Amino acid sequence: MNKKLHIRKGDTVYVNAGDDRGKTGKVLEVLPARNRAIVEGINLVSKHTKPSAKHPQGGIIKQEATIHLSNLQVVDPSQGGPTRIGRRLNDKGKLIRYAKKSGEEIK
């Protein structure tokens, strides 16, 4: 299943719904099958862990949980605010994503 999503790994996104509404963060991972993403510093949950080689002390660890893609918007590279995403062909005939607010290409 190869879905075209408006959000990719590495994008800076704005959270428009939920407890972290108004915050921005970098996308660490996208899960297309579940329509969810993991965003740096957003939707933190407390995970109880047993002592292991990675965490010898064990205890409670804060980590990012997934957030639904419908609650995220890509941040416009030129204006800095959230924007919708469009797709168009560039001069070389390659499909690119662009910000609908400014018309600028999103790398």
Tell me: the pLDDT tens digits for 29-45? 999 999 999 999 999 99
In a domain, 72, yes or no: yes
Q: Contact 31/63 with Cβ under 8 angstroms?
A: no
CA–CA dist 20, 39 (Å, integer):
11
Task: Note the pTM of the prediction, 2 decimals.
Answer: 0.84
CA–CA dist 44, 100 (Å, integer):
30
The DSSP H or E segment spanning 29 is strand 24-31
In a domain, 1, yes or no: no
CATH number at residue 68: 2.30.30.30
Structural domain range at position 74: 12-52+59-106
In a domain, 74, yes or no: yes
In a domain, 3, yes or no: no
Rg (CA), the chain: 17
- State pLDDT tens for residues 50-87: 999 988 999 999 999 999 999 999 999 888 899 999 99
In a domain, 69, yes or no: yes
Q: Contact 29/50 with Cβ under 8 angstroms?
A: no
